[in-house]
Homo-oligomer: A and B are copies of this chain.
Amino acid sequence: MKVKVKNKMLLKDYFTYKSKRGLKTSQKRLFIIDYFLNEDRHFSIEELYHEIRKINSQISFSTVYRTLRLLTDCGLAQECCFAEGMVRYEPVHKARHHDHLICRKCGRIIEFENSEIEKLQNHVAKKFGFLVVSHALELYGLCTMCQKKQRRS
């Protein structure tokens, strides 16, 4: 099995991290990283494993699990703990921090950013003498499509 990487640019941070830590790059790991970064979605470990398994059934759950943690360590992925109770991983694009709209019905996740909200958050923190390191904002509800479906039935 020899993996053709779709987009080498995305892997740059991984290779830096790899050299620094003396890692070796297996073809399986490469496949998982490339798939994850190019899909650019919010995967649970289970989900990513099942999708990958359909394409390459020789990759185990352990390897998917460990690769996601590896990506988190080298800053290419980020853990999200939404209210479902299960951890999801999202690719960290070089872009700015963002928050999430999450559909309670179909699970669709939309990213957004709003500097006005961030400003207000810092303002609130200041009022309580808090030093904010990170934050999480999730809006749960129904996406456009699921609202339409509900009206019909």
Contacts and interface: CB of A to CB of B under 8 A. Distances in A.
How many identical subunits does the complex contain? 2
Contacts of A140: 132-136
Given A81-B83, A83-B81, A124 B114 contact: yes
A2 B104 CA distance: 43
Interface stretch (A10-18, A57-65, A68-76, A141-149): A141-149
A83 B82 CA distance: 9
B117 A130 contact: no
Contacts of A144: 128-130
Given A135-B137, A139-B132, A121 B125 contact: no
A138 B124 CA distance: 12
Closest 9 CB pairs of A and B: A129-B144, A132-B141, A133-B141, A131-B142, A137-B137, A135-B139, A131-B141, A134-B140, A117-B120
